Amino acid sequence: MNTADAIKEKRERLHMTQKELADAVGLGKFGDRTIRRWENGESEPKPLEVKAILNFPETAPFKNPEHAKYTMIDLFAGIGGTRLGFYQTNKVKNVFSSEWDKFAQKTYYANFGEHPEGDITKIDAKDIPDHDILVAGFPCQPFSQAGKKKGFDDTRGTLFFNIKEILKEKRPAAFLLENVRNLRSHDHGKTFRVIMKTLDDLNYAVSYALFKARDFGAPQNRERIYIV
């Protein structure tokens, strides 16, 4: 196989665009043009460049543990940051994930070797696998101090009720919900009371806590609320 075909096949196995591969191997601002020329046979990469591409890892670093004790689903998954914490216990297997942003989906695949399902509003709760733990960092823009703070008047704010329907249908033993600190005070506390009452009406024992990123070694003061 010639170099051009080898690079193209490698990129396709990685599910990357030319731009994404160029960024991944550090080719700079116009690296996608360079990759395009290499794949078209218009120019030849240097041996070190070929090595960097062909040796780029294809195996996801955070695959499900083989002998997990619990199962989870990962909603509004982003690139899988919350799932990573469960992965690190070596006791939790993910059986379903949902994320509608196509770029986040690609990064999620690189991290976990799985393509998340798309828009959760188009997925019937009955079709989601049974699981022990529901994890959801549901969209925070409707409640954020930096946003317009429309709350449940914003379409994204109603996504909490998709979580409710899944909890009602699948009855997992536990859940972890994450959002911005302002969720607690949004609309004079009404939004948060609705959420807590909804979870309580589903017969879950519910509690919450606020954590700052700086308390866990990150160089920022970002605060998040966690509801369990």
Domain boundaries, the chain: 3-54, 70-227
Known active-site residue 139: no
Residue 204 CA to its chain's centroid (Å): 25
For residues 94-110, one letter each, b for 16 or more C-beta atoms within 10 angstroms of the residue's C-beta and e for the rest, the string is: bbbbbbeeeebbbebbb
Residue 29 is predicted with a pLDDT of: 85
Residue 140 is predicted with a pLDDT of: 58
Q: Extract long-range pairs of 197-203: CB within 8 Å, 24+ residues apart.
A: 198/160, 198/161, 198/164, 199/164, 199/167, 199/227, 202/164, 202/167, 202/168
Strand, helix or coil for residue 98: strand
Tell me the mean pLDDT in the region 198-213.
Answer: 95
Residue 148 is predicted with a pLDDT of: 56
Q: Provide CATH code, domain 3-54.
A: 1.10.260
Mean pLDDT lowest for which of 38-42, 62-66, 180-184?
180-184
pTM over 0.85: no
Of 140, 163, 166, 167, the catalytic one is 140
**Distance between CA atoms of 183 and 176, rounded to whole angstroms?**
15
Domain over 70-227 is classified CATH 1.10.1740.10:
no
Tell me the mean pLDDT in the region 7-14.
Answer: 93
Neighbouring C-beta atoms of residue 78, cutoff 10 Å: 17
Predicted confidence (pLDDT) at residue 151 exceeds the cutoff of 50: no
In contact, 129 and 73? CB cutoff 8 Å: yes
Tell me the mean pLDDT in the region 47-59.
Answer: 91
